Amino acid sequence: MTGRTGPGGPGTTTGCLAMFPGQGSQRPGMAGHLIDAYPSARELFARADEITGQPLSRICVTGSAAELARTEITQPAIVTTSLAVWELLRAAGYRPAATAGHSLGEYPALVAAGVLSLESALELVQLRGRLMGEVAREVPGAMAAVLGLPAEQVRAACVGAEGVGLVQVANYNEPLQTVISGHSDAVDAAGKAALDAGAEKVVRLDVSAPFHCSLMAAVEEEFTAALAVRPFADPDPHLPVISSVTGAYVRSGEEARELLRRQLTEPVRWVEVLHTAARHPVDAYTEIGPGRVLSGLAGRTLEDVRAHSTGDARRLTKLLGELEQDDSLDPVAS
How far apart, in whole angstroms, are the C-alpha atoms of residue 104 and residue 183?
22
Enumerate residues 6+ apart whose C-beta is below 8 A from 267: 168, 169, 170, 171, 172, 212
Active site residue 309: no
Instruction: Measure the CA–CA gap between 304 and 28, rounded to whole angstroms.
Output: 32
Maximum C-alpha span of the chain? 59
212 is catalytic: yes
Q: Under 8 Å CB-to-CB from 255, ≥6 apart: which residues?
A: none
Is residue 138 within 8 Å of 219, Cβ to Cβ? no
> What span, in angstroms and rounded, lies between the C-alpha atoms of 238 and 214?
35
CB burial readout 90-120, b (16+ within 10 A) else e: eeeebbbbbbbbbbbbbbbbbbbbbbbbbeb
Displacement of CA 167 from its chain's centroid (Å): 22
* Under 8 Å between Cβ of 105 and 87: no
DSSP single-letter state for residue 16: E
Report yes or no: 20 and 52 within 8 Å, Cβ to Cβ. Answer: no
Residues 6+ apart with CB under 8 A from 106: 20, 100, 241, 243, 244, 259, 260, 263
Distance spanning both ends of the chain, measured CA to CA: 20
Among the listed residues 25, 57, 82, 103, the single catalytic one is 103
- Exposed, middle or buried, 53 (CB in 10 Å: 0-12/13-18/19+)? exposed
Among 82, 181, 208, 212, the active-site one is 212
Could you list the active site residues?
A: 103, 212
